[in-house]
Structure 1
């Protein structure tokens, strides 16, 4: 059993307020909710954040995503269940999440410019950045502690 870890929201509430401002920005952005769910679940899979995978798959199902697509999300590039647009978003998610490998490649960025306007690209990147931050907070402070926060779904 892991010892309790710090609760950042209690000892540094302004840090959490900043994170929630990012979430609120994304809620009012033009980012399609289905795209946001794909970003959040895929990045959480890559980061091994069980708490976030659980929370965001439940949200996705609630908002109309199918279980089959969620089951195949970690093999999205081999599935015909994802549109070309979604595959591009998932590729961007992986490249930004795994920035230590190659980062957002010129090839992927060029495809994004062809498909989306600058605002939508910015919103995709900000969604990836936001979930990566939440994943790192959750994993660093322990998933069981995160559950005590009554984290908003």
Structure 2
């Protein structure tokens, strides 16, 4: 993060290390994450993870999953436009349904998951795929809460 005069500002110090202090929980989260990703297209999975992480303000997860998305062949302009995905034509109908579902699940207090959003996703994904997508969204939201609460920070590049 930089200020207007280009002076570097350091990230806040990490508060707590869950892998060290709650290792069983952390191992369970890793297992949950692996299970949640089963059967989900890797490019779509990373789009969902980046979008949820942006909504939750988790810089660690944004950095990690944007990097992973690029490694999986995602295009930079699509990642950068995720906050305005509705305003572009760069996302498929399936991706748009997944992004809308991601927003609704992530922002539960802003109207829960509307029937129209769920139905749109159900039209693009078979039931098993939809279940995995929901699991993936739940898992990344959990990771975001770990990252934000403990103040994980991406490594300097």
Same fold (TM over 0.5): yes
Structure 2 unaligned spans of 5+: 1-9
- 2:28 pairs with 1:25: no
The CA deviation at 1:7 is 1.0
Q: Which of 11, 14, 17 in structure 2 is aligned with 1:7?
A: 17
- Give, in whole Å, the separation in 2 of the partners of 1:47 and 1:76: 16
Alignment of 1:44-55 (within 5 A): 44-55=53-64
| Aligned length, in residue pairs | 145
Structure 1 segment 117-136 matched on structure 2, within 5 A: 117-136=126-145
1:1-21 Cα offsets, whole Å, 9 max, x none, are 745422111111011111111
Q: Secondary structure at the match of 2:135?
A: helix
| Alpha-carbon offset, residue 113 of structure 1 | 2.0
Q: TM-score, normalised by structure 1?
A: 0.89
CA offsets, 1:79-112, max 9 Å, x none? 1000111000000000000001112110111122
Q: Once the 2 structures are TM-superposed, how far is the Cα of residue 73 of structure 1 from its aligned partner?
A: 1.0
Q: Aligned runs of 1:3-152 on 2, under 5 Å?
A: 3-27=13-37, 29-144=38-153
- C-alpha root-mean-square deviation of aligned residues, in Å? 1.5
Distance in 1 (CA, whole Å) between partners of 2:14 and 2:117 is 41
Q: Is the CA contact 2:36–2:133 (under 8 Å) kept in the aligned structure 1?
A: no
